Amino acid sequence: MRADHAYAKATRILMRLEGKVEMSKKFNVANKIFENVKIGRDAVIEDFVILGKPPKGKQPGELELFIGEYSRIGTGAIIYSGSRIDDCFQTGEYSIIFPYVEIGKDVKIGEYTIIGVPPKGKGSNELVTIIGNGSTIRSHTVIYAGTRIGKNFNCGHGAKIREFTIIGDNSQVGMLSQIEGYAKIGNNVKLHTNVHVGQYSEIGDYVFIAPGTVLTNTLHPLCPKVEKCIKGPAIRSYVKIGTNVTVAPRVEIGENSLIGAGANVVRDVPKDSVVVGNPGKIIKSIHDLDCPFNLIDKPYSLENRNITA
């Protein structure tokens, strides 16, 4: 069979399966659009898109899918019913949005991104996932269901954010970083490339974590009782952590501390401390640091602490 004949046959089959759709303009005939899909005006739907696919246990059209005005849905994207997407949304090719995902205004999602993946043991209709206004989520990122992300979130390529993670406003997660779920991350946080955040970790506001840092959460891996005591570190607000740092489970790093590159932090750190070495040792107060280039009097003075890189 010639390719164009096969395409025409597939198109006719898809069109027979489609239900009524509230549309403001004509869409490509190769798309599959289920019943109870509402799409705002001046939206662009590219080829081979599936909109309003029902989750397991639900009938077609039982749940509404809403997509706002001026949105653009990339080729091959799949968006399940039960989700609500605000105006000016853009999604790249072959992305998947599971049910019960709420996406704010002016959100951009890259190619091959998956939002709202149900964790093991949970159905796709049990957990709500929220992405705040103005967020950018780059290609090949996976965000699990139950995650709640504030406005102006910025995510690098290939990041993974597991279930029940809470992230505040204006925060960033770098390329190939992993947040292993049940974590709390504050506002204006920057996690750089390839940062690993173990389950049940806490990160305050205005925290900077450089590439290759690992926040661990288990004192005795594979212990049969590990689930009863698993807990990550608590990184308080305004902490700066250098590259390739390891932070032990349950350790608290006090507010406005600086952890030098390569340190292994195995004990609690008081606020305003500078820590280096393996095992990490406090060598001075952060207020004793001077700029070696004489560009600034004190690099970490109180008036500079709300600056983000």
Catalytic residue among 5, 192, 220, 287: 220
- Predicted confidence band of residue 309 (pLDDT cuts 50, 70, 90): low
Q: Is 140 a catalytic residue?
A: no
C-alpha distances (whole Å) from 139 to each of 34, 47, 176, 208, 240 are 26, 19, 11, 23, 28
Going along the chain from its start, the domains and CATH numbers come out as 3-164 (2.160.10.10)
- pLDDT of 1 above 50: no
Residue bearing tokens 């709390």? 184
Q: What are the pLDDT digits (tens) for 181-238?
A: 999 999 999 999 999 999 999 999 999 999 999 999 999 999 999 989 999 999 999 9
Mean pLDDT of all residues in 177-181? 97
Pairing of the two strands 196-197 and 258-259: unpaired
- pLDDT of 144 above 70: yes
* pLDDT, mean over the chain: 90
Q: What distance in Å separates the CA atoms of residue 232 and residue 209, rounded to the nearest whole number?
A: 15
Q: What distance in Å separates the CA atoms of residue 132 and residue 169, rounded to the nearest whole number?
A: 8
Please state whether 57 falls in left (phi above 0), alpha (psi between -120 and 50) or beta: left
pTM over 0.85: yes
**CB 262, CB 244: distance < 8 Å:** yes
C-alpha distances (whole Å) from 264 to each of 107, 185, 199, 210, 242 are 38, 21, 19, 14, 11
73 closest CA partner among 143, 117, 13, 23? 23
Beginning with the edge strand found earlier in the chain, give each strand of the sheet holding 234-235 in spatial order. Answer: 21-22, 37-39, 65-67, 84-85, 101-103, 129-131, 148-149, 166-167, 184-185, 202-203, 234-235, 252-253
